[in-house]
């Protein structure tokens, strides 16, 4: 199939970027979107043009590294997939495909389509953990009763791969779906309780410091999330934060 | 972990709580306002005197006065908070996408809350100048019972096609604003439950369309019947 690619090229964080057009032919429908970009890059290298920089790692939808805003949607058309799981059979020969980086103040561009998502790491560091005594008398995890439904919900929240599609999709560049998933996976479990209040207060505070926007409850994040993280996590975070604000010790 | 939170003032979530709380209060205000307006369906001298009596009560009864101040404060807070949120949201994405397919994942109303809010605010200013200001500080005639004749002011305003058209347009905008906002407020306040949320959402969406429809029905009735002409 023959395609016209319109790709955002930007030499560095401070450089001025622009959309460049690359015609490409010989793309096969069985290629993944990333393989199609590999194929483009091989041709660019042959022509002496600098290849397009983009993030990728596992290429099987579990690492969250591949990003890309394709034809106006995070990870392109299709639901509950990452870009590496998007295949060229979703497009037709003759299509023009817009490929842009994830856009957010908190996700500065490193080069071309690659963005710095370490803001998520800093949110996680602000409270996305539990403190465990490792002095030798480790308690068997199964010794603490956990209701099955809570375990399932915590697991669903924990499937968030931190890809940033929620931020990229949100009209406000809000990180609420990510933060709420990372808070929920602990707040639903007994092990998360001792630090629950401080966790939600601190992680929300860090999220605000990073310059993410606010939540308008449009629900776009949930639709575009490759792991189908539910909006109920955001409600849980809102609820936990409200109670924690009233009842925390500090 | 040491807390660094801004708590209920200044944080992103706190701003949303205030938005939701004031928004829901204003929804309750709309119910009261509409119930009052329904009296305009009663025409003739009887309807006029009753409506003016009601207008007198609403501007003098202490409980209503207190509620009216809460309403003014809510409108002000909802506006200022909304502007602050919208500014932050814009700043969070300094470089826009060149191609964006927002319709693929979110409703139109949910994406246009600020625009619909501005339209509603503009309407409130015009609306308050037309009736609230005139009732409080304008030179209104007195009716047979000695009450200020708010009724004549109201029905003559809606005799003008452009005033009614503006009113219908503004209330339609409000309906869209509420169709997202009224149910979204519950999510913001952390109320999301597998059993109750579908009911809450359906109820609030119905509320969002029915309440403005009620206001519009009164306005269109006044325009069509022109009750001021028969007195």
Question: In chain A, what are the domains?
Answer: 3-111 (3.10.20.30), 118-247 (1.10.1060.10)
- In contact, A118 and A27? CB cutoff 8 Å: no
CB-CB under 8 Å, A71 with B5? no
pLDDT at B187 over 80: yes
> Which of A103, A207, A235 comes nearest B187 by C-beta?
A235
- In contact, A97 and A193? CB cutoff 8 Å: no
What number is the ipTM of this complex? 0.92
Angle between helices A232-247 and A196-209 (to 10 degrees): 110
Contacts of B205 in chain A (CB under 8 A): none
Of the CA atoms within 13 Å of residue B165, those in its CB half-sphere come to: 3
Q: How far is A44 from chain B (nearest CA, A)?
A: 23
CB-CB under 8 Å, B107 with A214? no
Contacts of B100 in chain A (CB under 8 A): 72
Q: What is the pLDDT of residues A30-55, one digit of tens each?
A: 999 999 999 999 999 999 999 999 99
A213 to chain B, any CB pair closer than 8 A? The answer is: yes
Which pTM value belongs to this model?
A: 0.94
**What is the rounded CA–CA span in Å between residue B28 and residue B55?**
19
- A and B: number of Cβ contacts within 8 A: 160
pLDDT at A248 over 60: yes
- Among A1-10, B2-11, B85-94, the minimum mean pLDDT is found in B2-11
Residue-level pLDDT at A83: 97
Q: How far is B110 from chain A (nearest CA, A)?
A: 5
Residue-level pLDDT at B1: 47
> Which of B3, B100, B106 comes nearest A198 by C-beta?
B3
Helix (H, G, I), strand (E, B) or coil at B136: helix
**What is the rounded CA–CA span in Å between residue A233 and residue B6?**
21
DSSP string, B169-220: HHHHHHHHHHHHHHHHHHHHTT---TTTHHHHHHHHHHHHHHHHHHHHHHHH
Contacts of A194 in chain B (CB under 8 A): none
Residue-level pLDDT at B230: 72
CB-CB under 8 Å, B14 with A103? no
Helix (H) or strand (E) holding A18: strand A18-24
Window A:62-121, CB contacts with B under 8 Å: 69, 71-73, 77, 98, 100, 103-106
Q: How far is A215 from chain B (nearest CA, A)?
A: 8
- In contact, B217 and B38? CB cutoff 8 Å: no
- In contact, A27 and A86? CB cutoff 8 Å: no
Q: How far is B6 from chain A (nearest CA, A)?
A: 7
CB-CB under 8 Å, B94 with A216? no
Q: How far is B5 from chain A (nearest CA, A)?
A: 5
Confidence of residue A3 (pLDDT cuts 50, 70, 90): very high
């Amino acid at each position: 199939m023959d395609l016209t690619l319109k790709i955002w090229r930007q030499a560095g964080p401070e450089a001025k970027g622009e959309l460049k057009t690359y015609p490409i032919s010989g793309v096969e429908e069985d290629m993944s979107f990333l393989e199609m970009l590999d194929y483009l890059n091989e041709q660019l290298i042959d022509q002496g043009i600098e290849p397009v920089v983009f993030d990728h790692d596992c290429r099987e939808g579990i690492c969250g590294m591949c990003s890309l805003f394709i034809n106006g949607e995070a990870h392109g058309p299709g639901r509950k997939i990452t870009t590496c799981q998007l295949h060229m059979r979703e497009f037709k020969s003759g299509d023009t495909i817009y490929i842009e980086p994830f856009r957010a103040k908190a996700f500065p561009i490193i080069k071309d389509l690659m963005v710095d998502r370490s803001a998520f790491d800093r949110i996680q560091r602000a409270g996305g953990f539990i403190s465990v005594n490792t002095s030798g008398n480790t308690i068997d995890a199964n010794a603490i009763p956990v209701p099955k439904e809570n375990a399932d919900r915590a697991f669903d929240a924990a499937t968030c791969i931190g890809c940033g599609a929620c931020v990229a999709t949100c009209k406000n560049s809000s990180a609420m779906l990510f933060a709420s998933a990372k808070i929920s996976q602990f707040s639903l479990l007994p092990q998360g309780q001792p630090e629950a209040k401080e966790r939600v207060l601190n992680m929300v505070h860090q999220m605000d410091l990073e310059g993410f926007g606010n939540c308008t409850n449009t629900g776009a994040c949930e639709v575009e999330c490759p792991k189908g993280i539910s909006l109920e996590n955001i409600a849980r975070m809102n609820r936990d934060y409200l109670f924690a604000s009233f009842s925390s010790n500090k | 972990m040491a807390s660094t939170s801004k708590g209920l003032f200044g944080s992103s979530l706190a701003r949303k709580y205030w938005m939701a709380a004031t928004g829901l209060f204003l929804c309750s205000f709309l119910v009261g306002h509409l119930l009052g307006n329904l009296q305009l369906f009663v025409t003739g001298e009887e309807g006029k005197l009753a409506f003016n009596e009601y207008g007198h009560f609403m501007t003098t009864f202490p409980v209503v006065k207190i509620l009216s101040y809460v309403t003014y404060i809510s409108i002000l807070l909802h506006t200022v908070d909304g502007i602050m949120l919208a500014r932050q949201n814009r700043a969070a994405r300094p470089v826009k996408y060149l191609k964006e397919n927002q319709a693929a994942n979110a409703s139109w109303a949910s994406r246009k809350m600020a625009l619909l809010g501005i339209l509603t605010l503009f309407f409130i200013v015009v609306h308050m100048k037309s009736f609230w200001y005139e009732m409080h500080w304008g030179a209104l005639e007195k009716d047979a019972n000695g009450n200020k004749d708010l009724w004549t002011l109201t029905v003559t305003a809606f005799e003008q096609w452009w005033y009614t058209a503006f009113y219908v347009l503004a209330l339609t905008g409000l309906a869209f604003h509420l169709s997202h906002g009224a149910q979204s407020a519950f999510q913001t306040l952390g109320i999301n439950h597998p059993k109750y949320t579908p009911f809450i959402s359906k109820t609030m969406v119905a509320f969002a369309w029915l309440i403005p429809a009620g206001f519009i029905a009164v306005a269109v009735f006044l325009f069509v019947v022109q009750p001021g002409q028969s007195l």
